[in-house]
Amino acid sequence: MLDLKAFEKQMIPLAYEEAAENELKEIIRRNKQELGEKLVLLAHHYQKDEIVKFADEVGDSLELAKKVSDYKKAETIVFCGVHFMAETADILSRERQRVLLPDTAAGCSMADMVSTEQLKVAWNKLMLQFGDDVLPVTYINSSAEVKAFVGFHGGVTVTSGNAEKVVSWVLEQKKRILFLPDQHLGRNTAFHLGVPLEQMAVWNSVNEEIDFEGDKSQVRVILWDGYCSVHQQFTPLQVDRMRKLFPQLQVFVHPECRKEVVDLADGFGSTAKLIRLAREAGSGARLAIGTDNNLVGRLQKEMAAKGVHIHFLNPMACACVTMNRIDLPHLAWILDELIEGRVQNQITINEETMKWAKVALDRMLEMK
Ligand code: 13P
Ligand code: SF4
């Protein structure tokens, strides 16, 4: 979980903040060259263009999680993404590899919507209500501690790239599932697997009870009340308006969007799947994409050259501010420090948390 003290640690020397873009790029290029195979730079698809250009691998959460151990010679993984992604990289990395996050204040507001304290309360109440009939599943967008809790209780992690596979496995193991922390990914996935909305309930983390009117024994999917503030900005009205303007439009969205938006879309999926869908569109196609605008902006440029017109589903939406905390000054600074033998912003997880979080992650990665 993101440490608030992390904000204080983010005072990188002013010289980096004030340096010209070309100067920063030159520092990064030079340091990367000097560190060679000892360094690997991983970047999530939501990173800014200037960061993506320096990445050895760019991917969605699932792809990046799988890539980590491929870099056998790397001693340092610099993760350009958010805190839970760097934690996941640390859990899955090889011994003696370290993971650095250029700005430790790059958290994920959704991941912070569930703490282990809240989860323990919920779990105890659910056990009293349903007995040993519930299996927990956590979206990879969660802290290492939450992943460990889930792993310890027989559960598994899930990403937007494998949600249907993982959730159907869970529903085969136990009668009920507790899906953390993104209610939208949980609802969209369970619905597409055939679970009716009447069998889903939201866990209200403020009142500490299930929001459900009726016979609670009918509930199969319990959704934590978390959400992504970036993806919740997309609405059915935006889809309708866009379709009125462009009747041939195809709409693709991330499953962190509300179900009402996903229902109106022509396709939905992880960031990697959204890229695939866009690249498969033929010349002359017109698409609207609902996800973070760094990625949509890159796709717009790439696909314009192939005659595909891409719109951002909501041009007024706010970007993921924490993803955008990773910038050239922080990247240049962390690499300069590394060259000087000073390891900054290392992500470390205690042994017990590491052990159980890895159990939850391995269960997911071993799923065929
Ligand atoms: P992906 O796993 O689809 O890349 O999504 C991660 C994320 O944080 C989306 O908001
Ligand atoms: Fe978290 Fe949403 Fe940002 Fe993804 S887009 S990292 S879920 S806040």
CA-CA distance, 17 to 30, in Å (whole number)?
18
Helix, strand, or coil (residue 293): helix
Pocket of ligand 2 (CB under 6 A): 82, 108-110, 141, 228, 230, 256, 292, 320, 322-323
* pLDDT given at position 315: 87
Whether the CB-CB separation of 135 and 173 falls below 8 Å is answered with yes
Kindly give the distance from the C-alpha atom of residue 108 to the centroid of ligand 1, in angstroms, as a whole number: 10
* pLDDT given at position 10: 64
Assigned domain for 252 exists: yes
Query: Model pTM greater than 0.85?
Result: yes
pLDDT digits (tens, 9 = 90+) for 246-298: 999 999 999 999 999 999 999 999 999 999 999 999 999 999 999 999 999 99
Assigned domain for 368 exists: no
- Do 101 and 130 sit in the same domain of this protein? no
Using CA atoms, how far residue 76 sits from 46, 72, 363, in Å, is 22, 11, 26
* pLDDT given at position 21: 98
Assigned domain for 303 exists: yes
Kindly give the distance from the C-alpha atom of residue 341 to the centroid of ligand 1, in angstroms, as a whole number: 33
- Do 331 and 280 sit in the same domain of this protein? no
Residue ranges for the chain with pLDDT beneath 50: none
* pLDDT given at position 7: 56
Kindly give the distance from the C-alpha atom of residue 93 to the centroid of ligand 1, in angstroms, as a whole number: 20
What's 217's domain CATH number? 3.40.50.10800
Assigned domain for 360 exists: no
Give DSSP secondary structure letters for 168-205.
HHHHHH-SEEEEESBHHHHHHHHHHTT--GGGEEEEET
DSSP state of 156: E
pLDDT digits (tens, 9 = 90+) for 166-200: 999 999 999 999 999 999 999 999 999 999 999 99
- Do 133 and 221 sit in the same domain of this protein? yes
Distance between alpha carbon 240 and the CA centroid of its chain, in Å?
Answer: 27
- Do 240 and 131 sit in the same domain of this protein? no
Assigned domain for 358 exists: no
* pLDDT given at position 318: 85
- Do 53 and 162 sit in the same domain of this protein? no
Give DSSP secondary structure letters for 55-111.
-SEEE-HHHHHHHGGG-TT-SEEEEES-HHHHHHHHHHSPTT-EEE-S-TT---TTG
CA-CA distance, 130 to 138, in Å (whole number)?
19
Assigned domain for 92 exists: yes
* pLDDT given at position 174: 93
* pLDDT given at position 68: 87
Structural domain count, the chain:
3
- Nearest ligand, CA 61: 1
Query: How would you classify the pairing of strands 221-224 and 286-290?
Result: unpaired
Domain housing 147: 111-228
CA-CA distance, 295 to 293, in Å (whole number)?
5
